[in-house]
Amino acid sequence: MGVDAPCLYELDGGSSSRDQFDQGSRTRPTSRTESDTQNDSLNSGATPGQNSRQTSVSTAPVSPAPLPPDFERLQRSFAEDDSGDPRVRASWQTRLQHFRNLYRTRPELFSEVAITTLRAIAQALQAGPGRVFSPDAPGSVLRELFGYNQFRPGQEQIIRAAIGGRDCVGIMPTGAGKSLTYQIPARLLGGTTLVLSPLISLMRDQVDSMDDIGLRATYLNSTLEPAERRSRIEGLRAGHWELVYAAPEGLEASVGYALEGVDIRLIAVDEAHCISHWGHDFRPSYRNLQGLKRRFKVPVLALTATATETVTRDIVTQLGMNAPLCVRGSFYRKNLHLSAIRKGGESASVRQSILQLALARKGQSGIIYCLSRKATESTAEYLREEGIAAMAYHAGMEPEERNKVQDRFRNDDIDVVVATVAFGMGIDKSNVRYVIHRDMPRSIEGYYQEIGRAGRDGMNSDCILFYSWADVASYDRMAEDGDKANVARMRAQVREMFELAEHTGCRQQELVSHFGETIAACGSACAICSGRDVLVESRHTASVVRKRKKDDRVHQRPTDGGDGGAPALPSDGMPSTHDEEGLFEALKQLRRRLAAQRKLPAYVVFNDATLNEMASRRPMTEDALMEISGVGPKKLSLYGGAFLDLLRR
Ligand SMILES: [Zn+2]
């Protein structure tokens, strides 16, 4: 589909010379030069001091020394398998690093033969990508590790750039699957991929979900106890971790030191717009990242969800990127259905409408954004009184309280968070089925970011905007105190947003045009094109839910854990028959139990799309289960038995 095709273009920023990393991973083995062979690859990670020490040692008389322990195993593997299997290469890399470390303390263990062999392995690993990656390599990791069959738009181009040793800027809207673009290279490249992210609160979840897939990931940040930190650093130096997450602030201090001696193969910079003083989230510490690229001589992958041309150029310059490939993903998210409802025009109040919408989606995760803290609290309370598991979230709450709400939402213990814009940065929950704006957001960027929290698993989700001119007036009042230029800018942004809300053509088309993208009318992903009236639908579904609840009370149907099921709207892409619904709910309950046992967020186990597919296809064997999108071998071994038991019932 044309609308899905990412636009690829080259940026001319950065230096044009192919300086630092012409050696090593950038050099295609088919055109290997003499400089490659002159390269002392075994020693490539060592400092000059260690370098000279090795030289002096290797000229010393060599006894017919016993080989270092475990050396033969590596030697055999290298002799037997040069197929380029990424797992084999990763294990070579781990063992090579081990022997490098050993060599520094006990050089007498290494015969000349051993050193020659290790150099050959290091060279084979460095010669890397061009030789070993078959065209299908990224796709096969996607299938085998993640259990998915297809890349989302833009992902594959970015991955190919990264494993090809090329710098790349990936502009991927929220929910487009940014993290996969460095996770797959991390597996293919071997060594360690360094991921810099400002979102410390997300690191644990990211690492947990990597672990559940079977990628070896860890993080270094200020929350770690010293002993834990030391052990992670040791693991990094021994080549145990494929991915390490760190905050750019940490790099200034001890993380920079911690990376000493680590075999970094790729640096991924998440939320890269923070590097640009043109961006709205500028962070000075991001400015030090340029030194990192020089230090490790590896490709840099800069990822961001929001970047104008100016910001993109700034990212390229600030990171010292070398003729990067720029991949722009599409801003069109066709699984989000957009509606806008002007407040005051309906007979029902906004509050009642929101209740109907939430009742019709009972048991599903939703976020309701309000302008004021007071409104979040009163709305949450109103919903609770009507039987919706809802909690408020705003910046005026104690951090501890806020974390509690966030955790309960993440773990599916509550269905709805009623929040101010303060909510969202630290949450990465894939099964949010709806986002409601009780009040109009202050800008189109804000609106896009907030609705972007729905449907990250790719399943259909509803985004419902309530708006009025009174909202515009509220923002104007709030902006009054700022400096002149700021006030003017904010007033303009609010009015742009109001115009979008009032727009009478395709909403998706109008929304992405704000980001410079042109698409045809969506046809089905906005209320204008689809003709869906979400309020009318919800009123109907909500009354069915209420009726069924009454019937349930009469029949005393046993429930499992409390938050009983509800029929979903057919247009939500949720299970469509009653049987399927029941099974889907049972699968969700099982997911919650397993997640609680392992202290993970529920969506880390499997996302809604995966459970939905299980409910409709009902796999009965391990093989059939592996066919389901989102089920990889690691997850099969962790959860397959429990899910099959349930499915076979
Ligand atoms: Zn449309």
Percent residues over pLDDT 70 in the chain:
77
The answer to whether residues 144 and 248 belong to one domain is: yes
Q: How far is the CA of 613 from the centre of ligand 1 (A)?
A: 27
187 and 242 in contact (C-beta within 8 Å)?
yes
The secondary structure of 347-370 as a DSSP string is SS-HHHHHHHHHHTTTTSEEEEE-
Q: Residue 147: give its domain's CATH number.
A: 3.40.50.300
Q: For residue 405, what pLDDT band results from cuts at 50, 70 and 90?
A: very high
Q: How far is the CA of 572 from the centre of ligand 1 (A)?
A: 16
The answer to whether residues 532 and 602 belong to one domain is: no
And the tokens for 98? 């081990």
The answer to whether residues 192 and 222 belong to one domain is: yes
Q: How far is the CA of 1 from the centre of ligand 1 (A)?
A: 16
Q: How far is the CA of 529 from the centre of ligand 1 (A)?
A: 4
The reported pLDDT for the residue numbered 133 is 74
Please tell me the distance from the alpha carbon of residue 298 to that of residue 194, in angstroms, as a whole number.
10
Q: How far is the CA of 334 from the centre of ligand 1 (A)?
A: 9
Residues of the domain holding 586: 568-647
Q: Which residue has the tokens 């009965």?
A: 620
The answer to whether residues 92 and 197 belong to one domain is: no
Q: How far is the CA of 570 from the centre of ligand 1 (A)?
A: 19
Q: Mark which of 536, 560, 594 sits at the end of a domain.
A: 536
Judged on CB neighbours under 10 Å (0-12, 13-18, 19+), 321 is: buried
Does residue 186 lie in a domain region?
Answer: yes
The reported pLDDT for the residue numbered 487 is 86
Q: How far is the CA of 261 from the centre of ligand 1 (A)?
A: 53
Q: How far is the CA of 369 from the centre of ligand 1 (A)?
A: 23
Q: For residue 126, what pLDDT band results from cuts at 50, 70 and 90?
A: low
199 and 174 in contact (C-beta within 8 Å)?
no
Task: Give the tens place of pLDDT for each residue, 452-483.
Answer: 899 988 899 999 999 999 999 999 998 887 77
The reported pLDDT for the residue numbered 127 is 55
- pLDDT of residue 119 exceeding 90, the answer is no
And the tokens for 69? 């322990």
Please tell me the distance from the alpha carbon of residue 69 to that of residue 60, in angstroms, as a whole number.
22
Does residue 3 lie in a domain region?
Answer: no
Q: How far is the CA of 627 from the centre of ligand 1 (A)?
A: 33
Q: Residue 631: give its domain's CATH number.
A: 1.10.150.80
HSE-CB at 446 with a 13 A cutoff on CA atoms is: 20
Q: How far is the CA of 504 from the centre of ligand 1 (A)?
A: 10
The answer to whether residues 150 and 119 belong to one domain is: no
Q: What is the mean pLDDT of residues 125-145?
A: 74
What's the predicted TM-score (pTM) here?
0.64
The pLDDT mean for the chain works out to 79
Task: Give the tens place of pLDDT for each residue, 167-193.
Answer: 899 988 776 788 999 999 999 999 999
82 and 127 in contact (C-beta within 8 Å)?
no
Q: How far is the CA of 609 from the centre of ligand 1 (A)?
A: 23
Does residue 385 lie in a domain region?
Answer: yes
Does residue 18 lie in a domain region?
Answer: yes
Q: How far is the CA of 378 from the centre of ligand 1 (A)?
A: 33
The answer to whether residues 302 and 362 belong to one domain is: no
Question: What does the longest C-alpha to C-alpha distance in the chain come to?
Answer: 94
- 293: enclosing H helix or E strand: helix 289-296
Does residue 551 lie in a domain region?
Answer: no
Task: Give the tens place of pLDDT for each residue, 239-269.
Answer: 999 999 998 877 666 666 778 889 999 999 9
The answer to whether residues 27 and 116 belong to one domain is: yes
Please tell me the distance from the alpha carbon of residue 433 to that of residue 93, in angstroms, as a whole number.
42
Q: How far is the CA of 509 from the centre of ligand 1 (A)?
A: 6
Q: How far is the CA of 508 from the centre of ligand 1 (A)?
A: 5
Number of domains composing the chain: 4
Q: How far is the CA of 348 from the centre of ligand 1 (A)?
A: 26
Please tell me the distance from the alpha carbon of residue 148 to that of residue 328, in angstroms, as a whole number.
22
Task: Give the tens place of pLDDT for each residue, 189-207.
Answer: 999 999 998 777 778 888 9
Does residue 161 lie in a domain region?
Answer: yes
The answer to whether residues 465 and 599 belong to one domain is: no
Q: How far is the CA of 462 from the centre of ligand 1 (A)?
A: 13
And the tokens for 48? 């000059």
The answer to whether residues 361 and 305 belong to one domain is: no
More confident residue, 344 or 472: 472
Q: Mark which of 127, 156, 173 sits at the end of a domain.
A: 127
More confident residue, 443 or 20: 443
539 and 547 in contact (C-beta within 8 Å)?
no
Task: Give the tens place of pLDDT for each residue, 23-42.
Answer: 233 333 333 333 333 333 33
* Burial letters 183-211, b for 16+ CB under 10 A, else e: bbbbbbbbbbbbbbbbbbebbebbbebbb
569 and 537 in contact (C-beta within 8 Å)?
yes
